[in-house]
Chain A
Amino acid sequence: MNDNVKTPGGARTKGDVLLEIRDLKIEGESDEVWRPIVKGVDLSLKRGEVLGLIGESGAGKSTIGLAAMGFARAGCRISGGSIMFDGIDLLTAGDEKRRRLRGSRIAYVAQSAAASFNPAHQLMSQTIEAELREGIRGRTDAEKDAIELYRRLRLPHPDEIGFRYPHQVSGGQLQRAMTAMAMTCRPDLIIFDEPTTALDVTTQVEVLAAIRDIVEQFNTAAIYITHDLAVVAQMADRIKVLRYGKAVEEAPTREMLANPREEYTKSLWSVRKLGKQEQPGGDPVLRVTNVTAAYGNAVRVLNDVTVTVPRGRTVAVVGESGSGKSTLARAITGLLPPMQGEIVFNGKTLPRALKDRDPDTLRRIQMIYQMPDTALNPRQTVYEAIGRPVEFYRGLTGAKKDARIAELLKLIEMDEGYVDRYPGELSGGQKQRICIARALAAEPELIICDEVTSALDQIVQEGILQLLMRLQRELDVSYLFITHDIATVRAISDEIVVMFQGRVVQQGAKTKVLSPPHPAYTELLLSSVPEMDPDWLTNLLARRKVTPEAMKAGDR
Chain B
Amino acid sequence: MTENAQSPHNAMLVAPIRRRSKMTRLWRALRKAPPSAWFGLIVIVVYIFTAIFAPLLAPYSETELIGGAFEPWGGKFILGTDQLGRDMLSRMIYGARNTVGIAFLTAILSFVLGGALGLTAAISGRWIDQLLSRSVDVLMSIPPLIFALVLLSIVGSSVPNLIIIMAVLDSTRVFRLSRSVAQGVVVMDYVEAARLRGEKLPWIMRREILPNIMPPLVAEFGLRFCFVFLTISALSFLGLGIQPPTADWGSMVRDNAALITYGDITPLLPAGAIALLTVSVNLVVDWFLHKTSGLRE
Q: Show the binding face of A for B, using Cβ within 8 Å.
A: 30-31, 56-58, 333-335, 354, 357, 359, 362, 366-367, 369, 371, 374-380, 388-389, 392-393, 410, 412-417, 419-421, 427-430, 433, 438, 442, 459-460, 463
Contacts and interface: CB of A to CB of B under 8 A. Distances in A.
- Most central of A375, A379, A421 by chain B CB within 10 Å: A379
A367 B3 contact: no
B193 A375 contact: yes
B287 to A, nearest CB: 15
B23 interface: no
A371 B189 contact: yes
Contact of A354 (B16, B195, B207): B195
B16 A420 contact: yes
Interface in B165-199: 188-190, 192-193, 195-199
Given A420-B19, A463-B3, A378 B212 contact: yes
Contact of B198 (A58, A392, A415): A392
Contacts of A459: 3, 6
B14 interface: yes
B211 interface: yes
Interface of B: 1-6, 9-11, 14-19, 188-190, 192-193, 195-199, 207-208, 211-212, 296-297
Given A30-B296, A416-B14, 4 more contacts: A374-B189, A413-B6, A415-B9, A433-B5
Contacts of A371: 189
Contact of A367 (B4, B6, B18, B193): B193
A463 B9 contact: no
A362 B11 contact: no
A420 B18 contact: yes
19 contacts: A56-B1, A58-B1, A335-B192, A354-B196, A362-B198, A366-B196, A374-B188, A375-B190, A377-B190, A378-B212, A388-B197, A392-B199, A413-B5, A415-B9, A416-B15, A427-B5, A430-B4, A438-B193, A463-B5
B89 to A, nearest CB: 45
A362 B207 CA distance: 20
A379 B206 CA distance: 12
A427 B190 contact: no
Shortest Cβ-Cβ A-B pairs, 9 listed = A379-B211, A417-B14, A375-B189, A415-B11, A377-B190, A369-B189, A415-B9, A374-B189, A427-B1
Nearest to A393: B197
A469 to B, nearest CB: 15
Contacts of B192: 335
A55 to B, nearest CB: 12
A168 B11 CA distance: 54
A374 B188 CA distance: 6
B189 A359 contact: no
Nearest to B14: A417
Contact of B3 (A333, A388, A430): A430
B196 A427 contact: no
Query: Most chain-B Cβ atoms within 10 A of its Cβ — which of A334, A335, A415, A459?
Result: A415
Nearest to A381: B19
A316 B18 CA distance: 41
Contacts of A333: 196
Contacts of B10: 415
Contact of B190 (A374, A414, A433): A374
Nearest to A448: B196
B188 to A, nearest CB: 5
Nearest to A420: B19
Contacts of A367: 193, 196
